[in-house]
Structure 1
Amino acid sequence: MIQRAALITLLLCFAGSVWSEEEEGGIEAQGGSIRGPRISESKAEADCKQEKNWPICSDEDWGPKCPSGCRIQGLTDKTDKEFGKRIETIKQKKKKKKKKK
């Protein structure tokens, strides 16, 4: 049963590819290309990539600033602080256990 389903699927794929090749005026004739449009970045985005120290941004700063680096730096700093607090808590608990022994 599974072999029949696989065979039918294979035949349908083959028929679809042959059928699409026979049609004239395909996507290439209409101006399309195989890879699609290329993404070009603006000058502001290119400048943002060079910056290393981003200020922490709020959601209101999304438009006027470079959002990717700014938001990522803010999220990284926030997560770093959270992990630092967790590590300190673990260290304190470890010290308390050593004192009890």
Structure 2
Amino acid sequence: MHPALIPEKHPMCGKYMEALVQCRKDNRFSRYIGACNDITYDLSLCLVKEKKIARADRQAQWHDQWRKKKEEDEARMLALKEQAAMSKSESPKEVSSEMQQL
């Protein structure tokens, strides 16, 4: 199944869409027994390629955003671990100073 045959929406596949429309006009009844199958197959392949190209840009943007968030999360976790280590190292000192006062 393919989308509506509007060449303006799919500039890479416009020639296949026009050919399919023409084939369907020329073969009103024989199109039901496969007269236009080759063109339909070529159109489907073209649409898949077009979608991969369009998707590649969005996917690259998503990967960049994901990397930035991952780096921020790693930095935040490192800061939390350092803070936890500092609080653990300070705790025994406070306890020992309290013990000395007693």
Q: Which of the pair has the greater relative contact order for Cα pairs under 8 Å at 6+ separation?
A: 2
| Shorter-chain TM-score tier | 0.3 to 0.5
TM-score, length of structure 1 as denominator length: 0.40
TM-score, length of structure 2 as denominator length: 0.40
Q: Which has the larger radius of gyration?
A: 2
